[in-house]
Amino acid sequence: MKTKGMEDSKIGEEDISKFKFDLSSKIADLKAARQLASEITSKGASLYDLLGKEVELRELRTEAIARPLEINETEKVMRIAIKDILVQVQKTKDLLNNVASDEANLEAKIDKRKLELERNRKRLQTLQSVRPAFMDEYEKTEDELQKQYDIYLEKFRNLAYLEQQLEDHHRMEQERFEEAENTLRLMQNKLKEEEKRLLKSRSNDDSDIDIQEDDESDSELEERRLSKPRTAMEALLQGRPSKRVVGTMQGGDSDDDEDSEDSEIDMEDDEDDDDLEDESIALSPAKPSQRVRKPEPLDESDNDF
């Protein structure tokens, strides 16, 4: 049973291999058939064209056949053709002879070039074996150039490194400068805000002081007006001039005191403004701060009398 199964399997494998072989051969036949079919179509088309021209060609063929041949003309044409062929044969012979001579010339040139090559080769060997006189100086100069090149490379690398360091330093300085400018700008803004705040508070204080001074000046004017008729009456009673008494009464002292107080207040305000200006100038040297001066109080109206 086993032997039968083995035999059946072998037979099946042989059939498969035969089938594969037949299939490949059939594929080749199919390709050949396709090629032949394309050739048949092209030949059929050309044959159809020729058959279409058969009507004209038939008449020409019959005329040529019916025409009688002249022996003299045919002999003449044949002789001319033979002469042409003989001329061509002679030309080919001459070319062959020239080729032989050219071959001999080329062989002579080749031999000459070989001799020159051998001579030059020997000369090269002799030149290579002999050391030239300038070779020592050449080697010395080459060593010096190599050293100089190494020094140049080292300096170039150092220069590139230093340039990089310089660029880094400039960049850091620029960053520091920008940071300093930003801090100065912030401080200037803060100082301006503080100055505005102080000026506002000071203007409020000055307005209060001006109101008090106006009240005091009004009271003093009333006292002076009351004191003037009294001094005039006393002068009439005592028989003395009243001008001196008016000039040396308490009004003059009060004016001096008020002027001194006003000057002290102005001096204190000026000192405060100077201190603020010095601080702002020290912090921002490029942009001087705007100094806002307090308006001076009006002169008292006592001088009019």
pLDDT digits 0-9 by tens, 240-283: 444 444 444 444 444 444 444 454 555 555 555 555 455 444 44
Which band of pLDDT confidence, cut at 50, 70 and 90, is reported for residue 71? confident
Count of structural domains, the chain? 3
Q: Are residues 239 and 116 in the same domain?
A: no
Closest CA to 300 of 257, 264, 267: 257
Q: What pLDDT score does 156 carry?
A: 96
Are residues 99 and 115 located together in one domain of the fold? Answer: yes
In a domain, 281, yes or no: yes
**pLDDT greater at residue 139 or residue 222:** 139
> What mean pLDDT value characterizes the chain?
74
Q: Which residue has the higher pLDDT, 9 or 174?
A: 174
pLDDT value of position 223 = 64
pLDDT of residue 219: 61
Q: Is residue 83 domain-shared with residue 191, that is, in the same domain?
A: no
CA 304 to chain centre: 80
Cα separation of 214 and 209, whole Å? 9
Q: Which domain holds residue 103?
A: 71-130
Query: Residues 117, 18: one domain?
Result: no
Q: 113 and 194 share a domain?
A: no
Distance CA 171, CA 174 (A): 5
Q: Are residues 62 and 103 in the same domain?
A: no
Instruction: Report the candidate in 197, 210, 196, 194 with the shortest Cα–Cα distance to residue 266.
Output: 210
Assess if residue 288 is contained within a domain. yes
3-state secondary structure of 264: helix
Q: Which residue has the higher pLDDT, 208 or 47?
A: 47
In a domain, 12, yes or no: yes
Summarised one tens digit per residue, pLDDT across range 141-171 is 999 999 999 999 999 999 999 999 999 999 9
Q: 130: part of which helix (H) or strand (E)?
A: none
> What whole-number percentage of the chain has pLDDT above 90?
33
Q: How remote is the C-alpha of 111 from its chain's centroid?
A: 65
pLDDT at 247: 45
Residue 140 forms part of a structural domain: no
The answer to whether residues 81 and 62 belong to one domain is: no
Q: CA end-to-end span of the chain, whole Å?
A: 162
Handedness of CA 203, 204, 207, 209 (dihedral sign): negative
Instruction: Give the pLDDT mean for 87-101.
Output: 89
Judged by average pLDDT, the poorest of 106-110, 113-117, 142-146, 274-278 is 274-278
State the average pLDDT over residues 232-238: 51
Distances (CA, A) of 30 to 40, 43, 243: 15, 20, 155
Give strand ranges (E) for the chain. Answer: none
Residues 178 and 58 in one domain: no
Judged by DSSP in three states, 131 sits in: coil
pLDDT digits (tens, 9 = 90+) for 180-193: 999 999 999 999 99
Q: What percent of the chain has pLDDT over 70?
A: 59
Q: Does residue 98 have a pLDDT over 70?
A: yes
The answer to whether residues 168 and 176 touch, using CB atoms and an 8 Å cutoff, is no
Shared domain check, 170 and 75: no
Rounded-to-integer distance, Cα 5 and Cα 157, Å: 87
Chain-centre distance for alpha carbon 279: 47
- Tell me: do 92 and 61 sit in the same domain: no
Spatial CB neighbours of 287, under 8 Å, sequence gap ≥ 6? 188
Answer whether residue 149 is part of any domain.
no
pLDDT of residue 9: 58
Q: Beta-strand (E) ranges in 86-229?
A: none
Q: Is 191 exposed, middle or buried (0-12, 13-18, 19+ CB in 10 A)?
A: middle
216 and 158 co-located in one domain: yes
Which residue did the predictor score with more confidence, 72 or 236? Answer: 72
> Would 143 be classed as within a structural domain?
no
Choose the weakest-confidence range: 12-21, 35-44, 121-130.
Answer: 12-21
Q: Between 243 and 74, where is the model more confident?
A: 74
Judge if 190 and 213 occupy the same domain: yes
